[in-house]
Amino acid sequence: MNFRYLPMTKQDKKEMLKTIGVESAEELFSDIPAKIRYKGELQLPLPADETSLLKEMQTLSSNNVNVKELPSFLGAGVYEHYTPAIVDHVIRRSEFYTAYTPYQPEISQGELQAIFEFQTMICELTGMDIANSSMYDGPTALAESALLAAGQSKMKRKKIVVSEAVHPESLHVLETYVSGPGLTVERVPVQKGKTDLSALEKAVDENTAGVIVQYPNFLGSLEDLKTIAEKTHDNNALFIVSSNPLSLGALTPPGEFGADIVVGDAQPFGIPIQMGGPHCGYFATTRKFMRKVPGRLVGQTQDEDGKRGFVLTLQAREQHIRRDKATSNICSNQALNALAAAVAMSALGKKGVRKMAMQNLQNAHYLKMSLKRAGITIIDDQPVFNEFVIKLPGAVREYNKKLFEKDIIGGFDLSEVYENREGQMLVCVTELRTKKEMDHLVKELEVLV
């Protein structure tokens, strides 16, 4: 394979084999018993030159549907939002694009300050005291919150109560995480689009470490955080809220309702859909749990000359202290995506974030009212942020195929994650959807129904 885009030449290969004292690459596998070693040739296409390879990849890429070309009403945890042009410009700067953990503050002040600003803005949105320097994604942050809740009770409390209106994928991640330390997850059912409060009250007891709800929840509805917080704290458990950070530009922050931990995904701010990831989780909590926060914290300090500076602080991860004393084994953070979110929030500003959030509210209300007038049934019609559920007389997947033929990306088929929601579509509408696009969806669904 004598192609220049491949990093290893035939000469490189020859020299490496000579250095380690073998005649061929096959000899490296000689210790593997012959009876289990594959001896044939893999049926792969012949290697291509750079020009041919680029053409092939571009052909494959053109098969993907781009939300920039078709209006999308698909949300369910990953959203298409406006991204200020400056975001891409900043994160492509080499000093940020290739940066890893800023262990050496004397040469990493730019990145450390950017992460510090990210933490600060997350605190302002959530109404919490502190936030970490980001996590892998929202579901990971949610699972870590459950471990903190159990850990602060010194693992005496083993139960995590969680609403079934939390994102299904987050629930799966949570259940995987808690299986290690032997915690149990008790799910609370949904009633009329929101967490069943009577069932929640029965589930929360003296063995409950934490209660987890989502706001807005996976079905788009707004949970009664005040009541849930009271029921949770009456049993001395921690109240954990998973929240879309953009929604907090318009909604009352969970911190004002008494949340102990607020988590979520910063994807709505400056991070593309990019086929579901990578994205950027956030984790915010009260000062009381400062030393139990997973991941990293960037703190503000002064150097010997009295100048403002930034450093990693309160590091209680297993890399720095004894494993049995560590708060988490999280060893990285989504620094580049956290930077993108910080730049996006800074570019929008407080007024811009609120305006963007209000546009989501208004567009969702307009589309919901338009669908109702067209005879489409709204499931559990109540206040929402930018998602709501509609009922269709048939399989959602079939409606989505027909909508796609009309150049529309339809909503999420809830029957994929709930057995009892056949024919129900979760419709998402953000600030990017125009009146013309929403009217087009209504017209096509009206014809199909």
For residues 93 and 194, state if they share a domain: yes
Domain stop point among 328, 344, 360: 344
Q: According to the model, what pLDDT value does residue 314 have? A: 78
Per-residue DSSP letters for 19-83? HHT-S-TGGGGTTS-GGGS--S----PPP--HHHHHHHHHHHHTTS--TTTS-B---TT------
Q: According to the model, what pLDDT value does residue 251 have? A: 97
For residues 400 and 278, state if they share a domain: no
For residues 310 and 422, state if they share a domain: no
The verdict on residue 25 lying in a domain is no
For residues 321 and 419, state if they share a domain: no
Tokens of 242: 């998973």
The verdict on residue 80 lying in a domain is no
Contact yes or no for 283/330 (Cβ under 8 A): no
The verdict on residue 244 lying in a domain is yes
For residues 101 and 172, state if they share a domain: yes
The verdict on residue 72 lying in a domain is no
Q: According to the model, what pLDDT value does residue 202 have? A: 97
User: From the CB of residue 149, how many other CB atoms can be counted at a distance below 10 Å?
Assistant: 26
The verdict on residue 113 lying in a domain is yes
Q: According to the model, what pLDDT value does residue 18 have? A: 94
User: Which domain covers residue 300, as residue numbers?
Assistant: 85-344
Mark residue 423 as left, alpha or beta (left: phi above 0; alpha: psi -120 to 50; beta: remaining).
left
Burial of residue 363, with CB atoms counted within 10 A of its CB: 0-12 exposed, 13-18 middle, 19 or more buried: buried
Tens digits of residue pLDDT in 277-291? 899 999 999 999 998
Q: According to the model, what pLDDT value does residue 319 have? A: 55
Q: In Å, how far are 167, 260, 380 from 198, measured between CA atoms?
A: 21, 22, 18
The H or E element containing residue 338 is helix 335-373
Tokens of 353: 């974030």
Average pLDDT over residues 127-131: 97
Tens digits of residue pLDDT in 352-396? 999 999 999 999 999 999 999 999 999 999 999 999 999 999 999
Name the one residue in this structure whose structure tokens are 């589309």: 367
For residues 96 and 158, state if they share a domain: yes
Which CATH number covers residue 160? 3.40.640.10
Closest CA to 268 of 196, 345, 328: 345
Tell whether the torsion through CA atoms of 53, 55, 57 and 60 is positive or negative: negative
Residue 360 CA, chain-centre distance (Å), reads 19
Domain stop point among 279, 309, 344: 344
Tens digits of residue pLDDT in 388-403? 999 999 999 999 999 9
Average pLDDT over residues 18-43: 89
The verdict on residue 125 lying in a domain is yes
Share the mean pLDDT of the chain: 93
For residues 228 and 354, state if they share a domain: no
Average pLDDT over residues 140-168: 95
The Cα–Cα gap between 398 and 400 comes to: 5
For residues 304 and 443, state if they share a domain: no
The Cα–Cα gap between 266 and 134 comes to: 9
Q: In Å, how far are 67, 178, 410, 433 from 420, measured between CA atoms?
A: 29, 27, 20, 30
For residues 288 and 394, state if they share a domain: no
Domain stop point among 344, 376, 405: 344
Which CATH number covers residue 368? 3.90.1150.10
The verdict on residue 141 lying in a domain is yes
For residues 409 and 382, state if they share a domain: yes
Domain count, the chain: 2
For residues 238 and 292, state if they share a domain: yes
For residues 285 and 430, state if they share a domain: no
Q: Which residues does residue 303 pair with via DSSP β-bridges, in sequence order?
A: none
The verdict on residue 6 lying in a domain is no
Tokens of 132: 């970490």
Tens digits of residue pLDDT in 393-433? 999 999 999 999 999 999 999 999 999 999 999 999 999 99
